Structure 1
Amino acid sequence: MLWVMTMARRLNGVYAAFMIVAFMMGIAGALQAPTLSLFLSREVGEEPFRVGLFYTVNAIAGILISLLLAKRSDRQGDRRRLIMFCCLMAVGNAMLFAFNRHYLTLITCGVLLASLANTAMPQLFALAREYADNSAREVVMFSSVMRAQLSLAWVIGPPLAFMLALNYGFTTMFIIAAGIFLISLMLIALMLPSVARVEQPAAVAITQVSGWQRKSVRMLFIASTLMWTCNTMYIIDMPLWISHDLGLPDKLAGILMGTAAGLEIPAMIIAGYYVKRFGKRKMMIVATAAGVLFYGGLIFFHSQQALLLLQVFNAIFIGIVAGIGMLWFQDLMPGRAGSATTLFTNSISTGVILAGVLQGALAQGYGHAVVYWATGAISLVTLAITSRVKEE
């Protein structure tokens, strides 16, 4: 938080507001996401397949709702008001999880609220891109520093989440998350600007605006989906794997996630600095190669020290993909910042769909170790596809 405030003193108020809101919303999300599989397994009492199914259903609903909201946000209305609405839904979702332990309620009402809530972050980044374009700011660095706030939040969030859940209970943890979302809502209302839409000229081809007709966009979507499939399988399975199979402390899961998030910050900043020199394609190839080393390493190295060291490769992988990947989509879809950012986040959601099914089926049918052989194989395919995407 000190780093955020230092940035705020150096930069203008609106810029600082984006950084602070991204950090606050990141903290709230980082309290809930890392412990979800543990919550469903221990508090709700569900088997691995139904834990994975929850992630899949949540991702499918998220894709449908975020696409509808993204199209509306790009064409009409105040994007800032949409972000505020999504934050309000996030408060409701956190409170539902705080006091409900019924699987069917969580996978229906909870998933609906979560889908609306999760749209807030891509819309926040879309608003930031429009603000940067309108104010003639350096877009890549602005986005990289803003994305670094999420990593900073994930340095603090996962260890704090496991500490709260294991020592004070999941109810306390979810109530605190709801309170942080409420503070974020007030900050958005008071500090973030409304940015006027920029109409695309008639000369711009519809295929250029829609983006999906481009082979490069489709290839990037597939590659990004597979990247996030690996990442989500790891996030879902790792807290269960280290406690059930490896016999390591539960709190180690939060430490591993926090370590990776902390290392992501310099990875993002360095990637934002060098992207003009090397290009987005080369940076993404470096990222996926680091992913191959990380997921391959999980197959063979299982000590606490080795798992901590492997987070260096995990940080390079996620740090570059999360920042540069989103900007690549935006560059390929000019004038559609909301749709482009949502397409990127929907590649994450599609990855979650695949990850939920694969992790649940593999863990229940063959054990947790097989999950990491699968992520290693998928990461190799991802590297091959990424190397074939053209930088435009």
Structure 2
Amino acid sequence: MRISTAVTRRLPDFTSLAFIVVAFLTGIAGALQTPTLSLFLSTEVQVRPSMVGLFFTGSAVIGILVSQFLARRSDRKGDRKSLIFLCCMLGALACALFAWNRNYYLLLFVGVLLSSFGSTANPQMFALAREHAEHTGREAVMFSSILRAQVSLAWVIGPPIAFALALGFGFQVMYLAAAATFILCGALVWKTLPSMPKTPSAKGAKLEAPRQNRRDALLLFAACTLMWTANGMYLINMPLYMVQELRLPEKLTGILMGTAAGLEIPTMLLAGMAAKRFGKRFLMRCAVIAGVLFYAGLLFITGTWQLIALQLLNALFIGVLAGIGMLYFQDLMPGQAGAATTLFTNTTRVGWIIAGSIAGFVAEIWNYHAVFYSALAMVIGAVLCLWRLKNA
């Protein structure tokens, strides 16, 4: 029996391949919309910069509320596969609304609500993948790392495609392409992903992690939020800092971000292989130390090739955070894969809310270079949280 099982696991697995394709498509759907959103709001909807910021903040808040509601519901009852399919269809509907509507408030309240359902398809897919891996006896850490690498790959090629479509053919074509991606993804989910209905729990029973795990989950939430806040401040600030203060060419920003995204893929895969031997806490600590070195380097390094070389530390920082952070939450919240995955995803959203506020405030009072001091302070705060974590 053991030999037969081992042989079976080495055979090509169509379901695992389907998960990989779905992960890539959900990543592409997001990568087609997010990078061009501020440009869309300022040029097509024609709103002031403050209204653009309000849109991003409102989007993050609504996204948190929707994703947490769906996470709790999916962990208690219902088939996660059906929920992912529904999210894909609502995501396609949101893209259609953005393609043909230019009313700011309709986009903010209806469009963002629908988009929040669409973006929840990704964390729910990761939760289903975790359940599938545990059900079939596969290595969950490596499988999740491979899936997360597909999302990073999507973000390497998605933004250039988004700008090419938006600037070459118009935003309507770009959003319709995103809608088509959601529809294709939904069809693959319905046809290929496994259906794993929940077993009804006893009346009044609650899904809760042990008390120690709840404390560690809170510390991990704080650490990941601070790390994503630093990353958000970097992404918001870096293009303006390079052009207006360093007087470097605009295309260098794209080179830096593309280099980091490309390096994140092997980082995630290597972290997945190393997690079983060294543990997730050790890898997260390595990542946050890399973050400290990266943001400290930004304070003193201004040369082109030095900034490019510095992206290796950025890739280690984000690659491990994105790949291992989610799995750490799942370990701390057994039986709650949906809630754990969504909780990790919401650290990104909360990080963006904080990053947008701090980056704009600091840059306006001092300068763009000063923003990196704030980012470094965030990462140091994450260090303190991670060093108080117990080993999962």
- Does structure 2 conserve the Cα–Cα contact (< 8 Å) formed by 1:264 and 1:318? yes
Shift, 1:221, TM fit: 0.7
**TM-score normalised to structure 1 length:** 0.88
Q: Counterparts of 1:283 and 1:213 in 2: how far apart (Å)?
A: 19
- 1:155-170 matches, within 5 Å, as 155-170=156-171
Mark the CA change 1:302 to 1:151 in structure 2 (over 3 Å): closer, same or farther.
same
Aligned partner of 2:7 in structure 1 is none
Mark the CA change 1:205 to 1:168 in structure 2 (over 3 Å): closer, same or farther.
closer
Residues 329-350 of structure 1, C-alpha deviation per residue, up to 9 Å, x if partnerless?
A: 1111111111111111122221
Is 2:329 the partner of 1:326?
A: no
Shift, 1:117, TM fit: 1.3
Aligned partner of 2:25 in structure 1 is 24
Q: Counterparts of 1:212 and 1:69 in 2: how far apart (Å)?
A: 25
Q: Counterparts of 1:201 and 1:139 in 2: how far apart (Å)?
A: 28
Residues 225-282 of structure 1, C-alpha deviation per residue, up to 9 Å, x if partnerless?
A: 1111112222334445445555555554444333222111110111111112211111
Deviates more, 1:306-315 or 1:294-303: 294-303
- Does structure 1 conserve the Cα–Cα contact (< 8 Å) formed by 2:80 and 2:128? yes
Shift, 1:365, TM fit: 4.7
Mark the CA change 1:161 to 1:370 in structure 2 (over 3 Å): closer, same or farther.
farther
Is 2:187 the partner of 1:186?
A: yes
- Does structure 1 conserve the Cα–Cα contact (< 8 Å) formed by 2:79 and 2:195? yes
- 1:129 is matched by which residue type in structure 2? R
Is 2:85 the partner of 1:84?
A: yes
Aligned partner of 1:347 in structure 2 is 347
Residues 27-85 of structure 1, C-alpha deviation per residue, up to 9 Å, x if partnerless?
A: 12112222333433444444544333322211111111111111111111111111111
Residues 292-342 of structure 1, C-alpha deviation per residue, up to 9 Å, x if partnerless?
A: 222233333345434332221121111111111111111111111111111
- 1:1-392 matches, within 5 Å, as 11-197=12-198, 207-208=208-209, 214-392=214-392
- 1:33 is matched by which residue type in structure 2? T
Mark the CA change 1:302 to 1:184 in structure 2 (over 3 Å): closer, same or farther.
farther
Residues 139-197 of structure 1, C-alpha deviation per residue, up to 9 Å, x if partnerless?
A: 11111111111111112112322333344433332222222112111111111111133
- 2:24 is matched by which residue type in structure 1? F
Q: Counterparts of 2:98 and 2:302 in 1: how far apart (Å)?
A: 32
Q: Which has the larger radius of gyration?
A: 2
**TM-score normalised to structure 2 length:** 0.88
- 2:142 is matched by which residue type in structure 1? M
Q: Counterparts of 1:177 and 1:382 in 2: how far apart (Å)?
A: 35
- Does structure 2 conserve the Cα–Cα contact (< 8 Å) formed by 1:38 and 1:239? no
- Does structure 1 conserve the Cα–Cα contact (< 8 Å) formed by 2:78 and 2:197? no
Identity of aligned residues (%): 52
Deviates more, 1:350-359 or 1:117-126: 350-359
Q: How many residues align?
A: 382
Deviates more, 1:189-198 or 1:15-24: 189-198
Q: Counterparts of 1:12 and 1:359 in 2: how far apart (Å)?
A: 45
Q: Counterparts of 1:174 and 1:281 in 2: how far apart (Å)?
A: 40
Mark the CA change 1:109 to 1:205 in structure 2 (over 3 Å): closer, same or farther.
closer
Deviates more, 1:229-238 or 1:329-338: 229-238
SS at match of 2:209: helix
Q: Counterparts of 1:220 and 1:60 in 2: how far apart (Å)?
A: 20
Mark the CA change 1:120 to 1:315 in structure 2 (over 3 Å): closer, same or farther.
same
SS at match of 1:193: coil
Q: Counterparts of 2:200 and 2:206 in 1: how far apart (Å)?
A: 13
Mark the CA change 1:268 to 1:154 in structure 2 (over 3 Å): closer, same or farther.
same
Residues 107-135 of structure 1, C-alpha deviation per residue, up to 9 Å, x if partnerless?
A: 22222122111111110000001110111
Q: Counterparts of 1:371 and 1:110 in 2: how far apart (Å)?
A: 31
- 1:34 is matched by which residue type in structure 2? P
- Does structure 1 conserve the Cα–Cα contact (< 8 Å) formed by 2:280 and 2:324? yes
Deviates more, 1:148-157 or 1:33-42: 33-42
- Does structure 2 conserve the Cα–Cα contact (< 8 Å) formed by 1:88 and 1:181? yes
Q: Counterparts of 2:168 and 2:252 in 1: how far apart (Å)?
A: 14
Q: Counterparts of 2:38 and 2:297 in 1: how far apart (Å)?
A: 23
Q: Counterparts of 2:252 and 2:202 in 1: how far apart (Å)?
A: 53
Q: Structure 1: state its 5+ residue gaps.
A: 1-8
Q: Counterparts of 1:17 and 1:80 in 2: how far apart (Å)?
A: 13
- 1:279 is matched by which residue type in structure 2? G
Mark the CA change 1:213 to 1:282 in structure 2 (over 3 Å): closer, same or farther.
closer
